[in-house]
Amino acid sequence: MSFAATHVLCALALQRSLGITNTQEYLSGAVYPDSRYVTLIERSFTHTLFDLTPSHPDFERGWHTHLRCDALMGPGYLLGSSYRARDIAPFNDAFIHISAMKLVEDLRSFCQQGVRTALIHLEAPGSPLPCNEIPERIERYYEALRTLYRAHSLTPTEYGTVFATFHLPASVCEQIVAKAHTLMRDTALTARLIAHLKSTIETLTTEYSIR
């Protein structure tokens, strides 16, 4: 659910709890699941939660943080609206709202220490690819992220190019960006969203520490 900077922020916060030894592979895994928007494989292949064991490599540990973060962050994106999870459908008003909320959150995550550096050095997983994706497509996803976050400052407008890479209709991209600009002016709502993210990281830190 969350965007890449938020997933990297969460992964960095959880790195010690998970005993990560290869940070590059770990962070690659943390953003990997959403590559499906570019590779066009089924969501079930990238977003089905699995039991994490000591034998899982660092890439899959990052992958796992993505799935747990998605599960816990979901309710936070409905803040400030009357929508419920059941209302969300591709490209409808609820979809626009939660996408804009993710964008606002991502802008804040991007500004946190170490996040931008990690994002601009993301690398696609090596062969064999996790779900037999077309290599050119998965590299296109990682390059889109590196390009977006290479900027030293971002506004919602810059995300439009990435949304287009994710095969979102142009009109939907425009609505998400416009909604995000509006939400950013609601400081109380933004504060609640960031508090929810902080709570998510704290919950996951505890969860992974007891494994």
User: Domain extents for the chain?
Assistant: 4-209
pLDDT of residue 211: 67
pLDDT of residue 1: 76
Write out the two tokens for 111.
Answer: 């500004």
The amino acid present at 50, given as its one-letter code, is F
Handedness of CA 157, 159, 164, 168 (dihedral sign): negative
What average pLDDT does the segment 43-67 reach? 97
Write out the two tokens for 94.
Answer: 């609820």
**d(Cα 173, Cα 176) in Å, to the nearest integer?**
5
**Model pLDDT for residues 81-107, shown as the tens digit of each residue:** 999 999 999 999 999 999 999 999 999
**d(Cα 176, Cα 168) in Å, to the nearest integer?**
10
Contact of 79 with 193, CB cutoff 8 Å: yes
Task: Indicate whether 184 pLDDT > 80.
Answer: yes
**d(Cα 178, Cα 160) in Å, to the nearest integer?**
10
Please give the DSSP secondary-structure letter assigned to residue 18: T
The amino acid present at 203, given as its one-letter code, is T
**Model pLDDT for residues 108-121, shown as the tens digit of each residue:** 999 999 999 999 99
**d(Cα 145, Cα 180) in Å, to the nearest integer?**
19
**Model pLDDT for residues 146-173, shown as the tens digit of each residue:** 999 999 999 999 999 899 899 999 999 9
Q: Would the pTM of this model clear 0.95, i.e. be above it?
A: yes
- Structure-token match 């409808």, residue found: 92
**Model pLDDT for residues 14-25, shown as the tens digit of each residue:** 999 999 999 999
Query: Could you give the percent of the chain with pLDDT greater than 70?
Result: 99
Contact of 149 with 110, CB cutoff 8 Å: yes
pLDDT of residue 200: 97
